[in-house]
Structures are given as C-alpha cells and as structure tokens.
Amino acid sequence: MKSLEQKYAEFEKRSHHAEVGGGKERIEKQHAEGKKTARERLNDLLDPGSFVELDKLVVHRGTDFGMDKTKIAGDGVVTGYGKIEGRLVYVYAQDFTVFGGTLSRANADKIVKVMKLATKMGAPLIGLNDSGGARIQEGVQSLSGYADIFMLNVRASGVIPQISAIMGPCAGGAVYSPALTDFILMVRDTSYMFVTGPDVIRAVTHEEVTKEELGGAMTHNSKSGVAHLTADDDEQAIMMLRELIGFLPSNNLSEAPVVPTHDPISREDEHLQTLVPADPNKPYDMSEIIHSIVDDGNFFEVQPHYAKNIIIGYGRFNGRTTGIVANQPAHLAGVLDIDSSVKAARFVRFCDAFNIPIVTLVDVPGFMPGTTQEYGGIIKHGAKLLYAFAEATVPKITLITRKAYGGAYDVMASKHIGADVNLAYPMAEIAVMGAEGAINIIYRNKLKTEEDRLNAVEAYREAFANPYRAAELGYVDEIILPKQTRSKIIQALEMTKNKHVQNPMRKHGNIPL
C-alpha cells in the first residue's frame, strides 16, 4: 500500500506533466515562432492567481494509428475559469505543443463543459484558438466534437458575450466556432483562418496564394470583415481582450460595469464649433467628434480597418458603456454601402442583445450607387441595418451632424424607426437629396440660364438644407450647438436609462440575410 507521501508525490508528478504539455522542446519552438503557450496566455489574460483549471488530467480515447501509445494529460486544450478585473469569465486555450492543438473527442468535451458552465452561470466565454484543426486519427468523433461546440455557440448567442482570439492556425471546420462568436481578434503574422488552405486551392482552382494573403490577420480585418480586431503580438492581443471585456456586461440580464470618471458631464469643446465645415462637400474626421465627447477621450473601435465609411465601437458617457455608430465623411463621403451596412447591423444587434445603449452620429449622403452595389444586393444588405435599428429596444440617441439624405436618413436611427432622442447641429441638412440633384429633377430642362439654376439651388438649400423643417415636424427633438454634444448626449442617456419596450411576441424575426 502506498503511503500518503507517495500518493501526494504521484499527484504532483501527474500535475507537472500536464502543465508542461508537449514538453520543453515544443514549448521552445512555440516561443521561437513568436507565440506564447496556452498556459502563458491564460496567465496574462486573467487576474493573478484567479485561474481555476478544469479537466487537467483528461486524455484522449483514440486507439487507431498507435494513438493509444501516445497520451498527454490535458490533450491539447487548457480549460477553466478565472477573473478579469474581478469579474468571472470562462476560458479555453488550445495548446499547440500537444498534438498541434488538434481537436479530439475528449478535448472537445472539455470545451463543451466550460461553454455549458459559462451559459449557466451567465459569464463571458473567451476562446484562445491555436490548433491544427480536427484530429484526423479520430475521424468522425472529432467532427462530432466540433458540431457540439457549434451548437453551444448558437445556444449562447445573445445570452453571454463570446470572444475568439485567433493566436495561431485556425482552418477547416475549426473556423466556424469563432465565426459564430461575437468578436474575433487576430494576431498579425502568427495567426490565420481559412476554410481550405493554399494547397487545396492550388490543386482545385490553380490559384497561387500564401497563407497570409488567404487568411492572415489583415486579410480578415480589412478585406473580408470576418475579424474585428488586430493585435501585433500575443501580449497586445491579451491587453485588447481585457479592455474589451471591460466594456461588456457579463450576460444579457445584466449591465456593463460602471467606470467612475472625473471627466465633467458639462464639459464643452470649442473645437467642435468649427470641426464640421460650412461647405457640405468638404470632408472632416468624425472620429474627432467621438473622441471629444466620450469619457476621457477613450474610444474602443471595432473593425477599424474594414468598411471605413462607418465607425463602430464602445465609449463611456458618465461611466456607462455605450455603443457608437457613426458615418465617416472622411472616407467615401460617409456613404452607406454593402460592407458598412453589414458591419454596423451586426454591431447594433450585439448592443441590443446586451442592454448597451446606442448613440448614432449621422452624416450620410445616401447609399452607394452603381452596378457593383446593386448586383451585390445593397437593397438586402442595407435592409439589415434598417432592421437592426428598428428592432433594437435599448436607448437610442441620434445626432445629425451634417447630411442626412434620402433613405439613408431613415435607416440611420431616425425618429421614424424608434430613436428615443434625435438631435441635430444647426448645419444639419435633412432632405431627400442634395440641392444640386434635387433642382436637376424638379426643374428638368426648365431653367434657361446658369444664373436661374444657381438661384434655384440656393433657394432649395435655404428651404431644405437645414434641420428646421424636421424640427418643426418633431422629427428632431432639439437643435444643439456642437460644443454641447457631450452634455446633451449624457442628458439623453440618463433620461432613457429606464426605458422598457417589448417587441411583439414571436419565435424570431426574419432578418434579410
């Protein structure tokens, strides 16, 4: 019979073996590639001493291809829970040093366990992905593990925030779990995502493409829109995850944490008085307004490299998290197109699911014209943003800084689709279209001289290129000076804090997809 000391020694030995994963050589190789190990990442992500590991000693159950002779405790994924700034989160981190982080039936069960716990306990789930994909030696058992994870991603959607950090390879079926989560962060140079790799593409379509070109961090952050955030290395990725979590509530029944600020509610910024040019055709940077009005100038932008004609992200007003959607006149004149509509629509739906108020800053000349947009389905995709704003029941505050033309005026959280407070600057232009285009239609070939045309344009501008007609009709609640923006938005947010609206009972709506 073993003594107590021997039993304790055996436990220590097994625990140590689990903690070194694939061993010293593979850990060194991971470091040489500029990547941290799964445990190092979790230690950086979570508050010191808060990580509680689950299923540390789990091993795979595979017997084919000699797998029964190679078993490593933990089996390629580290799972458990801990705290970020004192708040509970559930985590899993794939360990590339063990079988390339591939998914077995056993380690899928570990991930399933923390996903179920996260949903049950109402806490965010963060997955750190670094995996070679399905464990081929297990065949359909591995695939069943992926499908179980996908199902739980869908069940948890809108219930708890789900965040995926791609910190290495993520290919094949493995990409669909991150795609189902709320935010995807990728690391430059060391991470990639694709359904089929360069070798398969070369064989099937004869296209030559590198992993980085096909599915690298910047590809998915700037071209496809699959990813939301980019980090330069593992350390920055972890810092961004911690910052993002700070803006979010733990679940759909709670509110985001309030962060005390010394930034005065009534602070006015004289720079805003001259930021929006008198000439409606001159661009300006909408992000300057955003940074000016949020607490301490701290704005956490989401998808900054994709569809730059619209800005989305989180700021705080008097300590409370608020989602911000803003047209960007400095890029494509702030026009709405397919990519910007989809980008903003998903963000609005996330905010609505998690009780985050939405502030919308409007300077939109309309929808992007052209065959590319029409053939691509701008009608359907623009309707997604319209649907998202109309469906949202959280407080919705809208400020028209300059142009609000045509159907795009309606879509950008207008009073008519449920905004609670609608504000406008004195230079706002709320009309069906710009003065030049309107006159060309109204007086088609009837104006004989250029002077007549210019006079007609000026008359139209005087009548419609201002916020007063909308204010007279109650479509704009208040016209404000630009320097008052911060205080007026905070007043509106405080007034709407206890808003309660319930949409009609239904299984779910049918958003145009």
Q: What percent of the chain has pLDDT over 70?
A: 100
Q: Retrieve residue 361's tokens.
A: 């800053």
What was the pLDDT predicted at 136? 78
- pLDDT tens, 495-513? 999 999 989 999 999 999 9
What was the pLDDT predicted at 435? 80
Q: Retrieve residue 381's tokens.
A: 């995709």
- pLDDT tens, 285-343? 999 999 999 999 999 999 999 999 999 999 999 999 999 999 999 999 999 999 999 99
Q: Is the pLDDT of residue 426 over 90?
A: yes
Highest averaged pLDDT of the listed ranges 102-106, 124-128, 276-280: 124-128
Contacts of 361 (CB under 8 A, 6+ apart): 286, 289, 290, 324, 325, 326, 327, 398, 399, 401
Rg of the chain over all Cα atoms, to the nearest angstrom: 26
What letter would DSSP give residue 55?
S
CA angle 318/324/326 to nearest 5° reads 135
Q: How confident is residue 278, by pLDDT bands cut at 50, 70 and 90?
A: confident
Q: How confident is residue 23, by pLDDT bands cut at 50, 70 and 90?
A: confident
- pLDDT tens, 459-502? 888 888 889 999 999 999 999 999 999 999 999 999 999 999 98
What was the pLDDT predicted at 250? 98
Decide which of 25 and 121 is more confident: 121
* Out of 164-178, 439-453, 477-491, least confident range: 439-453
pTM over 0.85, yes/no: yes
Q: Retrieve residue 68's tokens.
A: 């029964």
Mean pLDDT score, 385-408: 97
- pLDDT tens, 58-103? 887 777 776 777 788 788 899 999 999 999 999 999 999 998 888 8
- 347 touches 304 (CB < 8 A): no
Q: How far apart are CA 127 and CA 475, in angstroms?
A: 44
Q: What percent of the chain has pLDDT over 90?
A: 77
How high is the mean pLDDT of the chain?
93
- pLDDT tens, 347-372? 999 999 999 999 999 999 999 999 99
What was the pLDDT predicted at 66? 66
What was the pLDDT predicted at 172? 85
Q: Exposed, middle or buried, 191 (CB in 10 Å: 0-12/13-18/19+)?
A: buried
Q: Is the pLDDT of residue 11 over 70?
A: yes
- 164 touches 192 (CB < 8 A): no
Decide which of 353 and 456 is more confident: 353
Q: Of all helices (H) and strands (E), which one includes residue 286?
A: helix 286-293
* Out of 129-138, 270-279, 394-403, least confident range: 129-138
Q: State the catalytic residues.
A: 172-173, 407-408
